[in-house]
């Protein structure tokens, strides 16, 4: 049987930790293989004074180790342990030293165990770094939330409390320019006739330069303001120094005070009031979180502008007349003109109970019933309301949506005629931004749209508008439909082009009911005119 002492020494050789035994004088009596293999110069160090060697090292960790070992050897401590770094040129390493006393034949000895704890230490360091990052991010987020809260409150107050659109633009730009990291903000408006976009109101902090040239829609597509306006979404340049065309729009040296820029459309539904452009003093200032805040602010600004415009439309008498030429075979009146080989003109629209539009159209020749398509080329039922030798009144139930879409922009169709594949459209709108939005709608829908004229007047005929408003509010839907159908179908001309029975059939009601609706509508109309 192997003696117990030899068995212990053999087992000690197999341990994956470095172990040494020293006597009460600090001399090394025994080491294991891990101890001897550790370090660049393998040595068992037996006979060396470990304590004296550690005491001479000019190192805080060595001094702590010496004091701990001496305290255990002197019986002042039952044990001692400490963690310390022991980095090499190739890697960082950490160890834990444990000192425990024992006796052999009455002599006080201690064991020194050095256990590598690099993996645990790296994990602790990573956890501390993660905790620091989380703490820094939380502090940064708290700062951002505080800044954003103040910015949102100030911009909202400025937008909602303003009395004019120009005041909204001025106050919003001032709020943004005073908020870090922003240094410049401007709001641009568009000129529908010249296709130009230019700053209307702006504010800056310090000597930040402003673009002094108008931007051309369709040419300056790389400018974020133009991109935002055309695409109806935010456009960002995170570093002006890397922007190829930056020198075209910003003066030399602008990069010293501004580094990034974003532009956001001021849109309310299908209406676009302009573009908000914001500059920051640092690169990469407009991350997703920042853009989300600015997009929300842009929506608030556009909503406030819309509210002011609606209030202005209710209290002032302004109208914009826009005439365009549309060349596109998909336009429903153009397609119908080609099918019937006739000049087509729009007379008006009525709506049934579920809101489906029924358009009344005039053809400049008599059209045989068998020549009328059951469905128009653009979709929708086609019927003949009235007919003479030289003209035909058609009614179309169409899902084309142009008339409805224009009405949603506040447009009233004054003329829509088609001759030789070109449609001439004249609409009246309540203001310039509605005209811009309606024109954009037409450009998006059709192949070729040419602006023929744009005219704004501040004195439309108030009597007609007020009478129309009061009359429409006093009539039921059926009464108004009966009146409009009769007028569009030339029922009031003599000789009549259409009978009351035919109009009643087109409305899906009896002849007597139709005449009752029509007489009531006529009486209310005369009340408005004569009372």
Quickly list H helices, 422-530.
Answer: 432-445, 462-474, 477-488, 500-507, 511-530
Burial annotation 139-176 (CB, 10 A radius, 16+ → b, else e): eeeeeeeeebeebeebbbebbeebeebeebbbbbbbbb
Q: pTM for this one?
A: 0.47
pLDDT at 81: 92
pLDDT tens, position by position, 381-402: 788 887 777 788 888 886 656 7
**CATH architecture assignment, domain 12-116:** 2-Layer Sandwich (3.30)
Question: Is the pLDDT reported for residue 297 higher than 90?
Answer: no
- Give me Rg for the CA atoms of the chain: 43
Would you state the pLDDT for residue 460?
Answer: 44
Q: Where in the chain is the domain with CATH 3.30.450.20?
A: 12-116
**What is the pLDDT at residue 461?**
42
Distance, in Å, from the CA atom of 308 to the CA atom of 306, rounded to the nearest integer, reads 5
Every domain range in the chain assigned CATH 1.10.10: 461-531
Average confidence (pLDDT) over 124-146: 77
pLDDT (tens digit per residue) in 392-449: 888 888 665 677 778 777 788 888 898 888 889 998 887 777 787 888 888 888 888 8
CA-based max dimension of the chain: 141
Q: How confident is the model at residue 58 (pLDDT cuts 50, 70, 90)?
A: confident
Question: What's the pLDDT tens digit per position in 7-56?
Answer: 777 777 778 788 889 988 888 888 888 888 776 666 667 888 888 888 77
CA atoms within 13 A on the CB side of 431: 17
State how far the Cα of 202 lies from the Cα of 186, in Å rounded to an integer. 4
- Rounded Cα distance between 46 and 293, Å, is 71
Termini Cα distance of the chain = 133
pLDDT of 311 > 60? The answer is yes
Q: What was the pLDDT predicted at 523?
A: 81
What percentage of the chain exceeds 70 in pLDDT? Answer: 84
CATH 1.10.3470 given to domain 461-531: no
141-150, 214-223, 266-275, 439-448: least confident range: 141-150
pLDDT digits (tens, 9 = 90+) for 239-268: 888 777 776 666 544 556 788 899 999 988
Over residues 449-497, the pLDDT tens digits come to 888 888 877 654 444 455 666 666 677 878 888 888 888 877 887 777 7
Place of tokens 């976009």: 197
Per-residue DSSP letter, 219 = T
Q: How confident is the model at residue 199 (pLDDT cuts 50, 70, 90)?
A: confident
**38 within 8 A of 20, measured Cβ to Cβ:** no
The three-state secondary structure class of 147 is: helix
**pLDDT(279) > 50:** yes
| pLDDT reported for residue 464 | 47
The pLDDT, as a whole number, for residue 317 is 64
The pLDDT assigned to 477 comes to 78
Which ranges in the chain are annotated with CATH 3.30.450.40? 139-315
| Helix ranges (DSSP H) in 46-184 | 50-56, 60-73, 118-161, 165-177
Contact status, residue 26 vs residue 49, Cβ threshold 8 Å? yes
Tell me what the pLDDT averaged over the chain comes to.
80
Instruction: Place domain 139-315 in its CATH homologous superfamily.
Output: GAF domain (3.30.450.40)
Beta strands in 192-341 (DSSP E): 196-204, 215-216, 235-237, 260-268, 271-280, 319-327
pLDDT in tens, 338-349: 888 888 888 888
Interatomic CA distance for residues 276 and 234, integer angstroms: 10
Most confident of 165-169, 194-198, 199-203, 233-237: 233-237
pLDDT of 462 reads 45
């Amino acid at each position: 049987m192997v003696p117990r002492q030899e068995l212990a020494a053999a087992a000690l050789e197999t341990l994956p930790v470095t172990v040494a035994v020293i006597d009460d004088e600090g001399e090394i009596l025994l080491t294991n293989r891990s101890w001897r293999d550790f370090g660049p110069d393998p040595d068992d160090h037996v006979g060396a004074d470990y304590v004296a060697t550690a005491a001479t090292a000019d190192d805080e960790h060595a001094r702590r180790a010496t004091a701990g070992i001496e305290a255990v050897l002197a019986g002042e401590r039952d044990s001692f342990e400490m963690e310390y770094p022991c980095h090499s040129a190739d890697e960082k390493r950490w160890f834990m030293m444990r000192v425990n006393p024992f006796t052999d034949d009455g002599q006080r000895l201690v064991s020194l165990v050095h256990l590598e704890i690099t993996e645990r230490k790296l994990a602790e360091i990573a956890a501390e770094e993660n905790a620091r990052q989380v703490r820094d991010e939380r502090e940064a987020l708290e700062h951002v939330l505080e800044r954003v809260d103040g910015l949102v409150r100030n911009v909202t107050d400025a937008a909602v409390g303003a009395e004019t659109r120009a005041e909204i633009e001025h106050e919003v730009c001032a709020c943004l320019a005073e908020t870090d990291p922003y240094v410049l903000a401007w709001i641009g408006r568009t000129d529908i006739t010249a296709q130009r976009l230019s700053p209307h109101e702006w504010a800056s902090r310090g000597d930040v330069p402003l673009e002094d040239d108008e931007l051309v829609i369709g040419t300056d597509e790389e400018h974020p303001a133009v991109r935002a306006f055309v695409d109806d979404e935010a456009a960002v340049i995170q570093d002006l120094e890397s922007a190829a065309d930056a020198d075209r729009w910003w003066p030399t040296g602008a990069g010293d005070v501004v580094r990034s820029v974003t532009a956001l459309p001021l849109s309310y539904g299908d209406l676009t009031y302009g573009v908000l452009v914001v500059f920051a003093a640092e690169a990469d200032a407009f991350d997703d979180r920042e853009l989300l805040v600015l997009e929300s602010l842009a929506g608030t600004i556009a909503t406030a502008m819309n509210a002011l415009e609606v209030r202005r439309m209710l209290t002032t008498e302004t109208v914009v007349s826009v005439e365009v030429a549309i060349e596109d075979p998909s336009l429903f009146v153009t397609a119908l003109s080609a099918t019937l080989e006739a000049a087509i003109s729009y007379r008006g629209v009525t709506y049934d109970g579920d809101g489906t539009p029924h358009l009344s159209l005039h053809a400049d020749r008599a059209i045989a019933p068998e020549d009328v398509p059951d469905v128009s080329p653009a979709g929708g039922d086609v019927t003949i309301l009235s007919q003479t030798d030289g003209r035909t009144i058609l009614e179309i139930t169409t899902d084309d949506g142009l008339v409805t879409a224009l009405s949603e922009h506040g447009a009233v169709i004054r003329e829509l005629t088609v001759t030789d594949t070109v449609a001439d459209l004249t609409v009246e709108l309540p203001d310039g931004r509605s005209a811009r939005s309606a024109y954009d709608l037409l450009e998006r829908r059709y192949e070729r749209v040419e602006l023929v004229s744009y005219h704004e007047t501040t004195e439309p005929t108030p009597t007609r508008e007020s009478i129309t408003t009061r009359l429409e509010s006093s009539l039921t839907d059926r009464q108004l439909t009966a009146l409009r159908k009769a007028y569009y179908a030339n029922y009031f001309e003599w000789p009549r082009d259409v009978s009351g029975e035919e109009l009643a059939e087109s409305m899906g009601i009896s002849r007597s009911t139709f005449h009752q609706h029509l007489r009531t509508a006529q009486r209310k109309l005369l009340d408005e005119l004569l009372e």
